[in-house]
Structure 1
Amino acid sequence: MKNLSYLILLFTLQLAFIPAKSQPRPDEKTSTIASKTAGLKKMPGFFNLYWEEKTGKLYLEIDKWDTEFLYVNSLPTGIGSNDIGLDRGQLGTERIVKFQKTGPKVLLLQPNYTFRAISNNADEKRAVEESFAQSVLWGTEVLALEGERALVDITSFCLRDAHNVSGTIKNTKQGNYVLDATRSAFHLPRTKCFPQNSEIEVTLTFTGSDPGNYVRSTVPTPEAITIRQHHSFVQLPDNGFKPRAFDPRSGYFGISYMDYATPISEPIVKRLIARHRLQKKNPGAALSEAVEPIVYYMDRGAPEPIRTALMEGASWWNQAFEAAGYKNAFRVELMPEGADPMDVRYNLIQWVHRSTRGWSYGGGVIDPRTGEIIKGHVTLGSLRVRQDFLIAEGLLAPYEDGKPVSPEMEKMALARLRQLAAHEVGHTLGISHNYIASTANRGSVMDYPHPLVKLSKEGNIDLSDAYADGIGTWDKTAIAYGYQDFGSGTEEKAALNKILADAIKQGNIFLTDQDARPAGSAHPATHLWDNGGNAIDELNRMMQVRQVALSRFSEKNIRQGMPMSTLEEVLVPLYMSHRYQVEAAAKVLGGINYTYAMRGDGQKPLEMISPEENRKALEALLATISPEALVLPEKILMLIPPRAFGYDRTRELFPNRTGGTFDAFSAAEVAANHTVGLLLNPERAARLIEYKARNEKYIGLSEVIDQLLASTWKSNQKPKSDYEAEVQRTVGNVVLQHLMTLSLNKEAPAQVRAIAFMKLSELREWLLNSAAKGESQQAQVVYALYQIKRLQENPEELKIPEPLAPPPGQPIGMNDPSLSCDW
């Protein structure tokens, strides 16, 4: 019995170690896709979507594993503030992604296309792939399986702040906001599927406290900001697109990557231009239709006559494509009713409203692998046209009693819109700004044009040629480089080089933002909002136009029934109408001509500007800060009362230090600050020292400062009135403040600071020995001596007052920059 009991126990223990047949736990049961989606609304397409009304969830069916596609997030609705920068139709970043499955887990992986190995060797490719990090954008669990198809809940991926709205609001100092899931949901009218793309849209609400002024001025309840975000899953283009090499002279932006399969004798960085896919039906023909034309669609929300003007301007590009041998290869059509503007199948020109005027943009979706533009997307700010209208009001004084309003203002504004539409569409074709084109007879719509205001033989303001009509010569060159379809037997590299060589011979070259935007940039012909072949001559001419318009300024510059105080809105852009030409002329001083010369192309890389031209520029610039240029006629000063009730002061007006009355000296200070700041720019000052050292005939920093002081503090010209004298003192104070700032600028070279410091010491000696007349002049001298002494004795503790800054300027009104209408 004892042995039997032992055997039974042993047998029982053995049974305990025999694995039982596995039984799935309830939470491990995998449903079929059909059973899981029964009763749900199906949206078949590139990726099938399923909507569950009861739970408010969206499911995605994945049938493409390790297959790359494009993911783009965007902003269908905006906040309405240019300063915050979250506009209707704003595109986010495009990413190449793919789904990967490991067990029950699904990952959305973004490969790293910045580093590649263009090779047939799999090991070589794998070495690069494993050397650089990739990004997993999202992960989730499989809910249902059927063969190679899997169903996942995509709700959490979509109901998130993919566009970083909260971060943008925080960065613009408009409050701290977080996504409120209880007030967020899918927006089904814009959640759709198509054979080549699946589109998902969501309504998101961000809640927070302490909202900023920009939020308060645009959001009905500032504690809750509700907008929509969009997600696009898009099939990548086939491999039929032929990338085109980047050339810095061509005017195209594009993509770049490092190819580690490159032989060591060749550059490892590869650069390609961004362009649409376009091919001729007959590449050998001088003129051929396209296999598939490029079509842009106009937002139906743009009103007439604006819509027609925008479509006409955008259509100008067909002139360039025809010059490149295409027939009707570029078209602009009205957006089909019911079409989704966020759908990547549509190149879009969108009309966007904001609470204040601001920039327009040309953007789009680019294939990061090849540079192919998949979708062009233009954003045009609706208030821009009103700024041109305002400029025309200031120039024309058109509101005469009993007479019809001149049609010139609307004509000018619509002409600007045509140019604007062409400009922004140009960006979506792959073309960058060309800021030297204005000096070549307005040779490109990719420049920023200031209205060309002329004086008739009778001395009247003439706006008939304010903006160019049609595409420019440079634009035809750019399109030929980017889109010409060469016939068989043509060596493409040589043909592309010939296109650029021919343009260079004709004087059509390309220089862009890096050469134009910085205040201290050096090229004398590369600038924003300028006109004319010579910046100095155009500045002098513009000052004459300005003087004529100011002499005729009256109550006729505003409509009947408007508060007289609103004359200031019209006066500001007129008084500052020379500001951009001042910036252009300042680049002649200490400037240098240069090109993007390539070895062997025959271009001269650098050319010095003559000493005579430098001195001519200084003379023209100093004339802009003379009392004659800055004093406003008494009749104007007596027209503008303090602001009327209901018409608050805005940033569009001159700064005010006089308790609400029009501040004539602030206007003068603003204009003087603009010119003097450019004259004493530290980078320009450094070049002046260098060029003088290399050639004694050149104007140096010392001479510039001496002439600046001679025309202000040491001027022998007797003011015509106490008003002129006070304006001259205002300008002198601006000069002193800039000179002190330059002497303490730690970013400036030591010799720049040394010369500025020496000139301040010389000025102090001169002031000590000057015979100041009158109490006002004596007061200015005493205070200047006090400031210079403090700088000399204790510079670290000296806080130099900053002169008043101009009201917003670009775009002919709003100052941005780096955004601008860039890609």
Structure 2
Amino acid sequence: MSHSCSLRMAAGFLLLLPSLLVGTNVRASDAPKDPLAGTVLHAGLLPLHVDVDEGRVLMDVADLPADLLMVSTIEHALGSNDVGLDRAQNGEPRLVRFQRVGKRVLLIQENTKFLAHTSDRDEARAATEAFAEAVLWSTELIKSERAPAAQLVDVSGLVKLDLHGVADRLKLTGQGPHSLDADRSSLLPDACQTFPNNVELSGLLTFSGSGEGPFVQQVAADPKSLSITQRLSLIRLPEAGFRSRAYHPASGGFSIGRYDFAQAIDAPLEQRFQPRFRLEKTDPALARSPVKKPIVFYLDRGTPEPIRSALLEGANWWRDAFDAAGFIDGFRAELAPAGMSMSDVRFNTITWTHRATRGWSYGGGLIDPRTGEIIKGYVNLGSQRVRQDLLIAEGLLAPYRAGADPALKQEALNMALHRLKQLAAHEVGHALGFAHNFAASRNGDGSVLDYPHPQFRFDGADGIRLDQPYGRGVGTWDKFLVAHAYSQFPIADEASRLATLRAEIRSKGYDYVSDPDARAPGDAHAEGLLWDVPGDPLTGFFAMMKARERALRRFSDGALPPDRQNGEAARRLVPIYLLHRYQTEAVARLLGGTEYRYGTIADSDWTARAVPADTQARALAALTTALDVGILRLPERTLATLNPPANDYAKSPEDFDSQMLPMFDPIEAGRVATAVVLQFALDPQRLNRMAWQHAADSASPGPELVFDQLIRESWLERHAKGTDRALQTTRNWTCLDGALQVLQSGLLHAEVAATWRQQLRQLTETLEQMGRQDADASAAASLIRRYLDDPTRVPLRALPRIPPGAPI
């Protein structure tokens, strides 16, 4: 190598050396900060390292249970009953596991619907591998020199997933498409918590949409930008030792199910268990014993008085049921202690939830999908429905009229508070694992799991009293529910002892009918009724009509507190004018009605039976009375007080619609009252059943008789005069609208549809004869003929919108 070349290389090295030295200094000063720097450790089920200043939360997944339960909860809600994204609303629980794959960690939802419950690993694996799991989230693993054994994940991405299905819910309820805006969504590190059995991760989720949905416009600060707080709970699964209880259809409880491919070939694949808490006696051999750990529910401290006391009293009714089943001090409800977190999965909770409008309450539980054990019970009580109860009570009692007994105001308030007691017991019953029983009202106050109508009595010539509106305490059915779900028996005796309990409750006259057989207008079961009065439906119907008549006659005399704007009277009239709506359904349910029982083939007397023909005939006759003009008519004095809303007030969906704006529309109210009858009596499913029952027993009324008494006789009735004639005419047209809509539905059996068309043709001939002197009859005949000739070219009027009734 030449000397000059060596000098050049040396010079180059000397020039490079400072750069290398500078570079070394830069790398030393810019060395990455340990990821745990600036964090505060929150110990619990899973360690959380929280850095509020930087907005970070790192979770250590190194020492995880094999499986966890994950559930989403709405913490800061939308506030719309119609959409249903409520405060403290829980989503569906998911069985999940964290799985490390190289440098990544996956959060996987396991498929709990299909499995093979067996000790044979190969058999179990064959079932597991046959059905898809779901990867919910994936993230990079973070290492820390401070905690080399830790396996850290940044949960920011996890909490910003819409795991509650908010966007789907908004779309489903007609609020339009919404998308999660990641830039306006964030982890909330100061709201993340960890407890011995659960970890809580909170995030603010912002959803962008058009803002055109009516419900988001009603409640949101900006309907185009909906910010909701979602909390994700990661929950430790219970320890072994819980004994699952096989579900029986007559148990009155809920069930959870799965397909178990390890079952014997002659056993059903679908296996169901009844959800229940782990409630154990200290001495199972004793008929009555203290318990190892009682079931305790804690009431939201945000609940005001006197509501707070009413809810606690009602929830504590269940103490009697558990005591009767032999569990001494096995249940209680109390106010949540100051500082207690309602998110701690160790505590069962009752939350007081506000919405823009009245709405439903509900109870449920976080359930171990492997066993059916209820890990945590929760109840969500809507705050506004008590106001509807008070409104109804004031409408019935008219306590503000001149000369009214001052005690009536307190009686109205007491009715609303009694309803809250019953509501608390009802929803706690759901959280304990019990389903609705809408047949319990046949036995008086047989169950808090029914939907009760307030009970009234008549006082003098025109008075109504509500001094005993609801029963007190749980009913006989409720004590059966607790005994059947929670009683401890030796394994060998359990099936027979439970069968004895079911036989005993049946011998006392209790039936069991739940939601699938009770909510649709055309449902068949004659006993599965919501908001009906106890006892015979027909007796209750005529008593309800009498109460309605008295209340309407006095409505203008003081159903409103004196400080309310007078336009509110029209809204308050609605539940009184439609007071008979639920008992009308009870009567209509007798038409084509059937009685049947839930059970197994081994149970005795489970065959279905039609409602007796004479009972059906009396039911049809009763329904015709609900279409009398005198029922549709409002007292003149009452009608005169129904002013439009005052300035800056507006009508709401709780009002009747009006085609006489701004005034109250008595014609529309009459249409609605007519539709209350028709929606049940003319349901296609009901008419199909009636046709079949009539074919089997000619004494049983068929669809022809329904048409004759509800449609034909309405049009043939002698003309009334004045405004009664207007109500009569609108009733007739509404009946015809209903009759044509039945045919339009396409749900009638072919032979029933043929009979219905024939009835319409015969009515047309009669109306044409009347039409020479009756414009309505002539127009109706023309409509029927044109529709029967070509249904596709004749638009039909829909039945009117009926303002919401439930929940009460």
TM range (shorter): over 0.9
- Answer whether contact 2:248 2:599 (CA < 8 A) is retained: no
* Separation in structure 1 between the aligned mates of residue 209 and residue 644 of structure 2, nearest angstrom: 37
In structure 1, the residue matched to 2:733 is 733
1:457 deviates by: 4.9
Question: How much does 1:581 deviate?
Answer: 0.4
Match of 2:347 in 1: 346
Pairwise CA distance, 1:749: 1.1
Match of 1:678 among 666, 680, 704: 680
Deviation at 1:189, TM superposition (A): 4.1
**1:784: which partner in 2?**
780
Aligned to 1:478: 481
- Residue 447 of structure 2 is matched in structure 1 by 444
3-state DSSP class of the match of 2:650? coil
CA shift for structure 1 position 509? 2.4
How far, CA to CA, are the matches of 2:567 and 2:772 in structure 1? 38
* Secondary structure class of the residue paired with 1:160: coil
> Does residue 1:43 correspond to 2:42, yes or no?
yes
| Structure 1 Cα separation of the partners of residues 750 and 99 of structure 2 | 59
Bigger drift between 610-619 and 801-810 goes to 801-810
Say whether residues 1:497 and 2:499 are aligned partners.
yes
Whether 1:641 aligns to 2:620 is: no
Q: Indicate how the Cα distance of structure 1 residues 66 and 277 shifts in structure 2: closer, same or farther if over 3 A, else same.
A: closer
Comparing 147-156 with 194-203, greater Cα deviation is found at: 147-156
Change (3 A) 1:224 1:541: same
Q: Distance in 1 between matches of 2:414 and 2:50?
A: 51
State yes or no: 1:152 paired with 2:148.
Answer: no
Q: Secondary structure at the match of 2:92?
A: strand
Q: CA deviation at 1:696?
A: 1.6
Deviations 1:193-224 (A, max 9, x none): 12222111122222333342221221223332
Which amino acid in the other structure matches residue 539 of structure 1? F
Alpha-carbon spacing, 1:793–1:220, altered in 2? closer, same or farther (3 Å): same
* Aligned mates of 1:456, 1:180 — CA distance in 2: 61
In structure 1, the residue corresponding to 2:409 is in which secondary structure?
Answer: coil
User: Deviation digits for residues 594-613 of structure 1, max 9, x if unmatched?
Assistant: 11243343334222222111
- Check conservation: 2:156, 2:186, Cα contact below 8 A: no
1:70-149 equivalence runs, <5 A: 70-144=69-143, 149=150
- Which residue identity lines up with residue 759 of structure 1 in the other structure? Q
Residues of 2 paired with 1:228 and 1:400: CA distance?
47
SS at match of 1:233: strand
* Structure 1 residues 220-619: aligned runs within 5 Å: 220-401=221-402, 404=406, 406-486=409-489, 488=490, 491-619=493-621
Amino acid at match of 2:763: L
TM-score w.r.t. the length of structure 1 is 0.91
Judged with a 3 Å threshold, the aligned counterparts in structure 2 of structure 1 residues 588 and 185 are, in CA distance, closer, same or farther, namely same
Q: Does the 8 A contact of 2:85 with 2:166 survive in 1?
A: yes
Task: Go from structure 1 to structure 2 and tell me whether the alpha carbon gap of 1:577 and 1:38 turns closer, same or farther (over 3 Å shift).
Answer: same
Q: Secondary structure at the match of 1:339?
A: coil
1:152-174 alpha-carbon deviations (Å, 9 max, x no partner): 22211112322122222222222
The superposition leaves residues 89-147 of structure 1 with CA deviations (integer Å, 9 ceiling, x where unpaired) of: 01012111111112212111222221111211111111111111111111112111667
Measure how far apart 1:797 and its partner are.
Answer: 1.6
Please tell me the residue identity of whatever aligns with 2:208. Answer: T
Q: Aligned equivalents of 1:521 and 1:754: distance in 2?
A: 23
Normalising by structure 2, we get a TM-score of 0.93
Q: CA deviation at 1:401?
A: 4.4
Return the alpha-carbon distance in structure 1 between the equivalents of residues 491 and 226 of structure 2.
Answer: 59
Aligned residues: 776
| Cα distance in 2 between the residues matched to 1:676 and 1:178 | 42
Q: Secondary structure at the match of 1:697?
A: coil
Cα distance in 1, alignment partners of residues 635 and 235 from structure 2: 62
Distance 1:790 1:763 in 2: 14
Query: Equivalent residue of 1:493, what SS?
Result: helix
CA 1:148–1:126 in structure 2 vs 1: closer, same or farther (change >3 Å)?
Answer: farther
**SS at structure 1 position matched to 2:161:** coil
Change (3 A) 1:596 1:171: closer
* Letter paired with 1:424: E
Tell me the secondary structure at the aligned position of residue 498 of structure 2: helix
CA distance in 1, matches of 2:135, 2:309: 45
Match of 1:207 in 2: 208
User: Counterpart of 1:619 in structure 2: which amino acid?
Assistant: A
Q: Report the alpha carbon displacement of residue 619 of structure 1 after superposing the two structures with TM.
A: 0.7
Query: SS of 2:622's equivalent?
Result: helix
Following the alignment from structure 2 to structure 1, what is the Cα–Cα distance between the partners of residues 382 and 436?
A: 19
CA distance in structure 2 between the aligned counterparts of 1:747 and 1:401, rounded to whole angstroms: 53
CA contact (8 A) 1:297 1:346 kept: yes
**Distance in 1 between the 2:65 and 2:430 partners?**
33
SS of the equivalent of 2:424 reads helix
Q: CA-to-partner distance for each residue in 1:607-636, whole Å, 9 max, x for gaps?
A: 222211111000111100111111111111
Alignment deviations for residues 393-436 of structure 1 (CA, whole Å, 9 cap, x no partner): 11011113477462101100000000001111111101000000
Report the Cα distance in structure 1 between the residues aligned to 2:69 and 2:527, rounded to whole angstroms: 41
| 1:446 alignment partner AA | L
Superposition deviation, residue 740 in structure 1: 1.3
Give the superposition deviation at 1:770. Answer: 2.4
C-alpha distance in 2 between matches for 1:354 and 1:237 = 34
SS for the counterpart of 1:261 is: coil
- Letter of the aligned partner of 1:744 in structure 2? Q
Q: CA–CA distance in 2 between the matches of 1:528 and 1:658?
A: 33
Quote the Cα distance in structure 1 between the aligned partners of 2:515 and 2:94: 26
Runs of 5+ in structure 1 lacking a partner? 1-25, 813-823
Shift of 1:712: 0.5
Match of 2:742 in 1: 742
Q: 1:343 to 1:65 in 2, by over 3 A?
A: closer
1:14 — aligned with what?
Answer: none
- In 2 relative to 1, CA 53–382 (structure 1 residues): closer, same or farther, beyond 3 Å? closer
* Contact 2:299 2:335 (8 Å CA) reproduced: yes
Aligned equivalents of 2:752 and 2:378: distance in 1? 46
2:17 corresponds to which residue?
none
Further displaced range: 165-174 or 372-381: 165-174
SS at match of 1:76: strand
Structure 1 window deviating more from structure 2 (292-301 vs 502-511): it is 502-511
Q: Deviations over 1:485-517 (max 9, x none)?
A: 22x576111111111111111112211011111
Report % sequence identity.
39
Distance in 1 (CA, whole Å) between partners of 2:106 and 2:453 is 51
The residue type equivalent to 2:92 in the other structure is T
Task: Note the residue ranges of structure 2 that are not aligned, 5 or more in a row.
Answer: 1-25
* CA spacing shift, 1:121–1:88, aligned 2, 3 Å: same
Select between 142-151 and 746-755 the one with higher mean Cα deviation.
142-151
CA distance in 2, matches of 1:165, 1:192: 23
RMSD of aligned Cα (Å): 2.0
Q: Contact conserved, 1:596 with 1:605, CA < 8 A, in 2?
A: no
> Cα distance 1:795–1:229, how it changes in 2: closer, same or farther (>3 A)?
same
Q: In the TM superposition, what whole-angstrom CA distance separates every residue of 1:57-108 from its partner, at most 9, and x where no partner exists?
A: 2211112357111111111111111011110001012111111112212111
In structure 2, what is the equivalent of residue 23 of structure 1? none
How much does 1:565 deviate?
A: 2.3
In the alignment, the residues of structure 1 paired with residue 103 and residue 568 of structure 2 have an alpha-carbon distance, to the nearest angstrom, of 67
Would the alpha carbon gap of residues 555 and 459 (structure 1) be closer, same or farther in structure 2, given more than 3 Å must change?
Answer: closer
**2:521–2:679 Cα contact (<8 Å) kept:** no
Q: Give the counterpart letter for 2:279 in structure 1.
A: L
Say whether the 8 Å CA contact 1:76–1:89 is kept in structure 2.
yes
What corresponds to 1:6 in structure 2? Answer: none
Contact 2:629 2:724 in 1 (8 A): yes
**3-state SS in 2 of match to 1:91:** coil
Q: Report the CA distance between 1:383 and its aligned residue.
A: 0.4
1:394–1:574 Cα contact (<8 Å) kept: yes
